[in-house]
Amino acid sequence: MTGKFILIFFLIFLLAVESNAQSVGLVLSGGGAKGMAHIGVIRVLEENNIPIDYIAGTSIGAIVGGLYAAGYTPDEMEELFKSDDFYFWSTGKIQEEYRYYFKQPEENPSWFELRITKRDDKVKLLPPTSLIPEEQMDFAFMELLATTNSACENDFDSLMIPFFCVATDVYNHEPVVLREGDMGEAVRASMTVPVYFKPIEINGTLLFDGGIVNNFPHDIMTDLYKPDIIIGHKVASDPKAAAPDDVMEQISNMVMRPTNFKIKPEEGILLETNFTNVNLLDFNKIETAIEAGRNTATVLIDSIKTRVHRRVPLEVVQQKREEFNAKKPQLFFQNIQVEGIEDTEQRRFIIQSIKHHFNVVSLSLLKKEYFKLVADENVKSIRPIARYNKETGYFDLHLKVEPEKKFKVNIGGNISTKPINQGFASIDYRAFNGRAYNINSNIYFGRFYSSFKLGGRIDFPWRVPFYIAGYSTLNRWDFFASSSELFFEDVRPPYIIQDEYNFRLEAGFPLGLHSKFYSGIAYSSSTDEYYQTNIFKKEDDPDQTTFNGLVTQAQIESNSLNYKQYATEGEFGYLSAKYITGKETNLPGTTSSNAFKTTKNHNFYILKAHTTKYFRFGRAFSLGTHAEAVFSNKLLMQNYRSTLLAAPGFYPTPHSKSLFIENFHSNNYLAGGLSTIINFNPSVHLRLEGYGFVPMKEELSNADLTAYQNTNTFENYYLQGMAALVYQTGIGPVSVALNYYEKENTNFYLTLNFGYVLFNKRGF
């Protein structure tokens, strides 16, 4: 008994001493990727048993401070920030396993989207609200901190370590101190940098990054918690005069208030980490930043120990962390509520899309269905909030949904050093009332390619969703106009103009997350104007071949690529079967060996298979494989050139789509290649691509310019390749590319491009 009494007395004594001991508040500044240095500082403080009784931060300081207060160790935070998940939610990009292909519209060269709305009886165009989509980030903060909200009962003073962060009231331009409520929303508000991210609304107040008004809240720390000692860590750069062409720095200087980073000697100590090689968004340099923070704290640790006499062993901190984490329930969801949608059918559709027939939904299932909803063009944004329900033992999921505007405009195209420049514009009307309706029209205009499309799609949200769609399209390609080069010029460019009209109807349904099946019918009328020889005079009349036909098609298609041009991860593939019946009419020109108009009926099938897949070997290197095969019983057309113009072609690179090269067309062929990709960072890469094309029974030209098939199978092969430096800007790729084709005359083409070389679909 005596031993137990002494032990109890000793513990009471320690608690009494502890209650009167020094309290320490840690304050972390904003500063973007430089704030990863905060992790290094916290690690040094822990290793030296320096206590952290309160913690606060702004922007990146709010993220690091909030995660630490929520029970994450420095090692866990470092692992999180190094992970692929962090890359995706900090950039707004969607992981391959969550890219829902079924709802994606047909590809187009759009750069950005403008929404049309009516306010004060005036029609207005609304520009994009942010550079980085917010859905990834909103889900990540819910995933990281929802169970923490339950453990602390939405009171930040009841976290493992009491915590607050600072955001900015957009309207009043005043600081807002966040120390209760949903912790994920609080941290999300504190780091919402204007222009980069969309502001967040909490309790009716629109909030932006706290760094606008207070990037180092040591004064608020003093007022709220009155710690004996403040340890502050500054990573933010001091304001500097902006260069005339530095728009972001100019905006920053206009919106950011000066922040007082000074801590009085009697109040605490300031640690400052300066960077010369880490910028605001250089999150790929996390190791450099953490090591810099560690060095800063190590240099000043003796000064900190002199000021802070109290010690808390790391084992005690870890035990406190384990006790707090033990309060966190597992993240399962049962009740789902939808806010922001008035239509009952729409709310039911959203809830059913997530729950299906399940009573309880796991996090993994929720995440997959959440990104399916994000892919829906009728939904502008979805913000998930999880609230623990003590009665059920599960989380209630509140989805704050903002419907998309009924009208939107897309602007895009391609800017090039060769004459394949084109502009693009489209307008969409969307409505949702039990079914999703989309009416779309677009226009391409340029010297090489021009087009107009009008059509629409109806989505049926049944147990197995499906769609029906119909489109009417006019296409025109002028290959003669595209042949002039800035650095290299074709000696005898072919004169080819293709005009086509098609009307198609199709219906489809999803096959898993990345795939869909669709089938349909189409009517197509195409007219090709061409000379049968590359030597012609201005007064010569071209040949004209017209083909009018009906197409029946079925196709399985899969797509999980991360970019619609110059992809570096994911895969794309399809297997299609077409049956075509139609009539060919040939009107000979002055260079033709035939003097009379001729007609010919055609009935044939075309089977085509394609696969492109990228394999990542670490973050710096990727390898892509490419394979394609075409089989057909199609007969030869009236002459050699019309035969190849109507034959399927192999276009593996963006530039190859702008040329007509006879060597890469055949009714039956095998083709494939490899891509080697060196990633300098998530946005910049170098790609080297090489491809081979092998016609099965090559179509060749007779002396009279008619066509015949080679009797030898796989006798010839043709090569092409590309070396390109690519920068994905967020609205479109910038590329410098050297292209090679095995053909007569010019073999090399050097191009500088911004944008996309994409076209509306053909009928055949």
Active site residues: 59, 209
d(CA 628, CA 428) in angstroms, rounded, equals: 34
Its sign, for the CA torsion 224, 227, 233, 239, is positive
State which amino acid sits at residue 365: L
The number of residues in the chain equals 764
Q: With CA atoms as reference, report the closest residue to 410 among 104, 127, 114, 133.
A: 114
Residue 730 carries which DSSP code?
Answer: S
Q: With CA atoms as reference, report the closest residue to 440 among 105, 669, 57.
A: 105
CA within 13 Å, CB half, 660: 25
Q: With CA atoms as reference, report the closest residue to 631 among 678, 671, 670, 684.
A: 670
What are 655's two structure tokens? 């530039």
Percent of the chain as helix, strand, coil, to the nearest 5: 25, 40, 35
d(CA 289, CA 277) in angstroms, rounded, equals: 10
CA within 13 Å, CB half, 211: 29
Q: Which residues does residue 572 pair with via DSSP β-bridges, in sequence order?
A: 559, 612
Distance from the Cα of residue 152 to its chain's centroid? 34
- Contact criterion met (CB below 8 Å) for 277 and 285: yes
Q: Which residues of 659-693 are buried (b: 16+ CB within 10 A; e: fewer)?
A: bbbbbbbbbbbbbbbebebebeebbebebebbbbb
3 state DSSP class of 234: strand
Largest CA distance in the chain: 122
DSSP-derived secondary structure for 384-398: EEEEEETTTTEEEEE
Its sign, for the CA torsion 532, 651, 485, 500, is positive
Number of H helices, E strands in the chain: 14, 32
d(CA 518, CA 508) in angstroms, rounded, equals: 4
Q: Which residues does residue 155 pair with via DSSP β-bridges, in sequence order?
A: 180
Its sign, for the CA torsion 29, 32, 38, 39, is positive
d(CA 443, CA 40) in angstroms, rounded, equals: 53
Residue 650 CB burial class (10 angstroms; 0-12, 13-18, ≥19): buried
- Contact criterion met (CB below 8 Å) for 179 and 157: yes
What are 533's two structure tokens? 């020889």
Q: Which residues does residue 85 pair with via DSSP β-bridges, in sequence order?
A: none
d(CA 334, CA 332) in angstroms, rounded, equals: 7
What are 15's two structure tokens? 């608690």
State which amino acid sits at residue 366: L
Q: Which residues does residue 466 pair with via DSSP β-bridges, in sequence order?
A: 460
- Contact criterion met (CB below 8 Å) for 58 and 32: no
Q: Which residues does residue 678 pair with via DSSP β-bridges, in sequence order?
A: 621, 686
3 state DSSP class of 561: coil
d(CA 420, CA 100) in angstroms, rounded, equals: 32
Distance from the Cα of residue 400 to its chain's centroid? 22
Determine how β-strand 361-362 pairs with β-strand 332-339: antiparallel
- Contact criterion met (CB below 8 Å) for 118 and 124: yes
